[in-house]
Structure 1
Amino acid sequence: MSIGRSGQSAGRGIEVRHLRAFLAVADESNVTRAAARLRLTQPAVSRTLAALEQHLGVRLVDRSTHHLALTPEGVVFRDKAAAAVAAFDEALDSGGLRHWPLRLGHAWSAFGPYTTPLLRRWQELYPRTPLELLRIDDRTAGLTRGEVDAALLRGPVEAPGLVTEVLFEEDRVAAVAADGPLADRTALRLTDLAGETVVLNTVSGTTTVDLWPPSARPAATLTVANTDDWLTAIAAGRGVGVSAASTAGMHPHPGVAYRPLADAPSVPVLLARRDVPGHPALPDLVALAREVVGRDGGG
């Protein structure tokens, strides 16, 4: 079926394939990869995208850089296109789920101790809908950019257009050099770290200097962009860090010692999704995440 501007059938109008091509390009940021994903040739995808842009009268993709990026109009249209394709697929298969992957993003530490139970239980219940766990170094783990269908996030999230639910709370820990004097302590307090350089992941982390009381804030900070660089800096003795407790189990490092941080507030762990129609399996993911936390948390 072809849809013209007025919504009536038109022989040279827009079809669902145009939307799928645009969404593939938006997800892959690359026409070649999008073509491979759609099992089409690169020129066919380029022509389809160009036809969609011509029909809408706006440029959806910025082609001026090596890695394609969505224009502001493309970002807005992506959610509308995803909703339209989801509605189309649901109409054709109202009794089942789409069998392509459900993408679950995280910036670090995933679902903490519940990560493995969640993945195993999902595989048991929904073997035809793969659950892909993707680490993306971004405050919303790629959710606001449309790179994932849902995300596991920590700390307050102020991005507009998201629906969030707190699933559990985590204590905080201090991360210090394993061969440093602070590693000899069984537990630490925020004031114990105030005299050190504090390593802050400003891209996806939740720790800021506001965690400390105004009278005892760190004298110096070192900013990094991801968890790997955060661990490397701490192991090298360039500073100390603060993170959620699950980081100790999900990101062990021979040069880093984790110690309980007795006086720091806990960190909420959220399951977030965009406030638009999305993957039909999202309600099942929300229900299973609640079940896993409730069952494991209650012993």
Structure 2
Amino acid sequence: MTVELRHLRCFLAIAEEGNITRAAEKLHLSQPAVSRTLRQLETHLGVRLVERSTHKLALTTQGERFRERAATALAVVTEALDPAGVRPSPLRVGHAWAALGPHTATLLRRWEREHPGSPLELLRIDERTAGLAEGRVDAALLRAKVQARALVSEPVLTERRVAAVPTGSRLAGYRTLSMADFTGETVAVNPVSGVTTLDLWPVRTRPTRALEVANTDDWLAAIAAGRAVGLTTSATPSVHTYPGVTFVPVTDAPPIEVVLAWRRDRPHPAVPSLLALARDVVATHSTPPGGRAGCAKGTMGA
């Protein structure tokens, strides 16, 4: 059997999603087709890449090693087949949600003015590394921990967390909330690109249950409908609006670090300039801690 790009894409989707069903949805394939493609790859390599059980799916040691090689190979081929060829390469910056929060528009305007020969493309990609691990972007603004050895990350700013609650609900009437106020609530979580899990809470004050959603839009809809509450960062109320969602500062939640990440082996030449500009924009246009989240309605995040 000859290994094709579809085998690499299939394996990377499974590794990213941690679930055969979600990987199949992402690739627009059937679940049996994804399972069959994975088996073909494992047979060719002569090793098991994924451990499957009734309750979970995890990469084996060999699978973790192969993940970086597969991502690198796919990125190289993607770049080689890029019809743009020798034309000036745009700096593609991925983000899963909120980008640089209230600083996003300023960053884009200043980049356009200060780097006219290097186009910047901001792309929203709903996955853990916002397309960076798969080579779909050159850099990414992330709010999740970067653990892959193939990626480099540098901090840009720190954001406080805010609660997202249904407008008119009991929690929406408070000026501030604490983590303990979530006890007994259902919390909407986005396992694909979100920053919230029930592990953030001590066991004795942990919310009743988690409602998993597939993307940011579903996260917002679940909260607006009164099915759950959410925990996000102070960036989100300043970026988007959504009727029926109110944001309230959370005083004792751990902050979130926003980083700019890029691939170690093939950095885009404009990445250092982007990092410097992002830090300067944040330093120049910083808002007071917590911002105006307490009176804002609607946003993105999870």
- Would you say same fold, with TM above 0.5? yes
Aligned residues: 234
Q: Which has the larger radius of gyration?
A: 1
Q: SS at the partner of 2:257?
A: strand
Question: Whole-Å Cα distance in 1 between the matches of residues 209 and 109 of structure 2?
Answer: 43
Q: Structure 2: which 5+ residue stretches go unaligned?
A: 11-26, 42-65, 289-302
Partner of 1:20: none
The percentage of aligned residue pairs carrying the same residue is 49
Cα deviation for residue 80 of structure 1 reads 4.6
8 Å CA contact retained: 1:173, 1:242:
yes
Cα deviation for residue 165 of structure 1 reads 0.7
Question: Whole-Å Cα distance in 2 between the matches of residues 198 and 245 of structure 1?
Answer: 17
2:101 counterpart of 1:112:
yes
Cα deviation for residue 84 of structure 1 reads 8.2
Q: Aligned in 2, Cα 1:208/1:298: closer, same or farther, shift over 3 Å?
A: closer
Cα deviation for residue 285 of structure 1 reads 1.2
Question: Whole-Å Cα distance in 1 between the matches of residues 283 and 271 of structure 2?
Answer: 18
Question: Whole-Å Cα distance in 2 between the matches of residues 77 and 223 of structure 1?
Answer: 32
2:290 counterpart of 1:290:
no
Q: Aligned in 2, Cα 1:66/1:112: closer, same or farther, shift over 3 Å?
A: closer
TM-score under structure 1 length normalisation: 0.70
State the one-letter code of the partner of 1:189.
Answer: S
8 Å CA contact retained: 1:204, 1:225:
no
Question: Whole-Å Cα distance in 2 between the matches of residues 74 and 102 of structure 1?
Answer: 23
Bigger mean CA deviation after superposition, 72-81 or 246-255: 72-81
State the one-letter code of the partner of 1:241.
Answer: G
Question: Whole-Å Cα distance in 1 between the matches of residues 207 and 28 of structure 2?
Answer: 40
State the one-letter code of the partner of 2:259.
Answer: L
Partner of 1:59: 3
Question: Whole-Å Cα distance in 2 between the matches of residues 273 and 128 of structure 1?
Answer: 21
State the one-letter code of the partner of 1:76.
Answer: T
Aligned partner (choices 186, 207, 227) of residue 197 of structure 1 = 186
State the one-letter code of the partner of 1:286.
Answer: L
Question: Whole-Å Cα distance in 2 between the matches of residues 209 and 130 of structure 1?
Answer: 40
TM-score under structure 2 length normalisation: 0.70
Question: Whole-Å Cα distance in 2 between the matches of residues 264 and 215 of structure 1?
Answer: 16
CA RMSD in angstroms, aligned pairs only: 3.0
Bigger mean CA deviation after superposition, 61-70 or 75-84: 61-70
2:144 counterpart of 1:148:
no
8 Å CA contact retained: 2:75, 2:134:
no
Aligned partner (choices 241, 248, 270) of residue 252 of structure 1 = 241
8 Å CA contact retained: 2:71, 2:133:
no
Question: Whole-Å Cα distance in 1 between the matches of residues 218 and 229 of structure 2?
Answer: 12
CA deviation vs aligned residue, 1:189-236 (integer Å, no higher than 9, x gap): 111112110100110001011111121111111001211110000000
Cα deviation for residue 60 of structure 1 reads 3.7
Question: Whole-Å Cα distance in 2 between the matches of residues 292 and 60 of structure 1?
Answer: 43
Aligned partner (choices 156, 159, 167) of residue 170 of structure 1 = 159
Bigger mean CA deviation after superposition, 111-120 or 230-239: 111-120
2:168 counterpart of 1:179:
yes
